[in-house]
Amino acid sequence: MESLQTILHRIEHEDRPDPALLAQLLRIENREELDLIYARAYDVKRREVSALAYFRGLIEVSNVCAKDCLYCGIRRSGNVSRYTMSNDEVIACARFAYDNGYGSIVLQSGERRDPAFVELIEDMVREINDMTGDSLGITLSAGEQDSSTYRRWLEAGARRYLLRIETSNRELYARLHPADHDYDERLRCLRELKDIGYQVGTGVMIGLPFQTTEDLARDILFFRDIDVDMIGMGPYLYHHDTPLGREATPSIDAGGGLLDMSLMMIALSRIILKDVNIASTTALQALHSQGRELGLRAGANVVMPNLTPVRYRRDYLLYDSKPCVDEDAGKSRDCLARRIGAIGEKIGWNVAGDPLHALRRMNGLTPLRN
């Protein structure tokens, strides 16, 4: 039997690791072995992208959504009261991020493709850039759009775009979405975003019903194959008022198993993709009070404190156990900074924190792989 160290060395240096081997690693339950893998990923992070943790202030602009994903609490047929923040409210949140040294923000929204929405986001991006002299990184996460919309938003000054593939297994994708949601359309969007010139992020949900460790292993290779700059992924968490929440039990029990599987996904993604940005997501914190810190220790380098005004938070519950529903932005900033300091990480204040992978890619340098 090869030692774990030898296996890790191999997946770090091979061009395209064997998915069966990755799946085997994802099934590890032994505490010492898990910790060894997280420590290895942490070393790769420090070596390849530094030990800085970047803050992305998350602004949940609107929960109005044209999509009907079977797992999501703000799906079109969901029973929530709908809101769209005003321009001024969004600008005030961005101002908070800027004044507090957050390097960047994420404007996230339910998916809408109508002209009024396209213009709303465009205006918000322009105004934020005017206010900050283009010095606050702006990431958009507003679903599948036409290439003309993606271009308009890029021209307005957005630099990054997050669009999760949710799962790279197209049969599983089809089980999680209504028939008119198209895996190939999502792929088209991801490719187009990159061609147009965005720094592109994607991600998956971990522990979905019907999902296997082989699927997750192939998700990591998918990130590698489409050459993403950023990864944001987290555990699938049940929402009581969704078809998936009602009908299917998770394939992996919530609790210890799901937390470690999520941390392993971060760790293996870091070891294989090396110089990308990886978020330690809010959903991780839903599983463990220190979930986000554990994510940073396992190779993530981005945290996304929520800046959405507290009065809207209850209407943006993608899943039941979403943390920080009542925590206002000022409080969560200090609390998070303290907690991150306590695990020996430094925060990248006042810098946009572009993924090194994207800078290398865009400057025609060879992205770091092996």
239 binds ligand 5AD per the rule CB under 6 A:
yes
Of the candidate spans 5-13, 49-57, 175-183, 230-238, the one that interacts with ligand 5AD by CB under 6 A turns out to be 230-238
Does residue 316 touch ligand 5AD according to CB under 6 A? no
Per CB under 6 A, the segment of 37-45, 218-226, 231-239, 343-351 that binds ligand 5AD is 231-239
165 binds ligand 5AD per the rule CB under 6 A = no
Phi, psi of 71 (to 5 degrees): -110, -10
Q: Work out whether 237 is an interface residue with ligand 5AD (CB under 6 A).
A: yes
283 binds ligand 5AD (CB under 6 A): yes
Interacting residues of 145 by C-beta distance below 8 A, sequence separation 6+: 113, 118, 153, 189
The single residue listed with the structure tokens 């060395």 is 9
Closest distance to ligand 5AD from the beta carbon of 69 (Å): 7
Find where tokens 């194959």 sit: 225
Q: Which is nearer to ligand 5AD, 132 or 139 (CB)?
A: 139
Instruction: Please say whether the beta carbons of 150 and 192 come within 8 A.
Output: yes
The answer to whether 27 touches 213, Cβ cutoff 8 Å, is yes
Rounded to an integer, what distance in angstroms lies between the CA atom of residue 271 and that of residue 135? 31
Q: Is 190 a residue that touches ligand 5AD (CB under 6 A)? A: no
Q: How far is the CB of 321 from ligand 5AD (least distance, A)?
A: 9
Task: Single out the segment in contact with ligand 5AD by CB under 6 A; choices: 31-39, 86-94, 218-226, 234-242.
Answer: 234-242
333 is a contact residue toward ligand 5AD (CB under 6 A): no
Going from the C-alpha of 293 to that of each of 57, 58, 286, the distances in angstroms are 17, 17, 12
Binding span for ligand 5AD by CB under 6 A among 23-31, 84-92, 229-237, 350-358: 229-237
Give the HSE-up count for residue 78: Cα atoms under 13 Å, Cβ half-sphere: 31
Query: By CB under 6 A, is residue 324 in contact with ligand 5AD?
Result: no
> Which of 23-31, 81-89, 236-244, 261-269 is the region at the interface with ligand 5AD (rule: CB under 6 A)?
236-244
- One-letter amino acid for residue 328 of the chain: D
**Exactly one of 59, 72, 200, 265 binds ligand 5AD (CB under 6 A); which one?**
72
Where in 163-215 does DSSP place strands (E)? 199-202, 205-206
Subset of 195-224 contacting ligand 5AD (CB under 6 A): 205
The residue within the footprint of ligand 5AD, chosen from 111, 166, 275, 345 (CB under 6 A), is: 166
Shortest Å, Cβ 72 to ligand 5AD:
4
Q: In angstroms, what CA-CA distances link 20 with 59, 185, 212, 215, 218?
A: 38, 28, 11, 10, 9
CB atoms within 10 A of CB 116: 8
Instruction: Spell out where 124-260 has E strands.
Output: 137-141, 160-162, 199-202, 205-206, 230-235
Our finding on whether 112 is near ligand 5AD (CB under 6 A) is no
Q: Whole-angstrom Cα distance, residue 79 to residue 72?
A: 11
We find the least distance from the C-beta atom of residue 234 to ligand 5AD, in angstroms, to be 6
Name the nearest CA neighbour of 80 among 350, 362, 366, 320.
320
| Binding segment (CB under 6 A) for ligand 5AD, from list 37-45, 82-90, 180-188, 233-241 | 233-241
**Residue 224 structure tokens:** 């590698």
In this chain, which of 45, 164, 177, 186 binds ligand 5AD, going by CB under 6 A?
164
Residues near ligand 5AD (CB under 6 A): 71-72, 164, 166, 205, 234, 236-237, 239, 283, 318-319
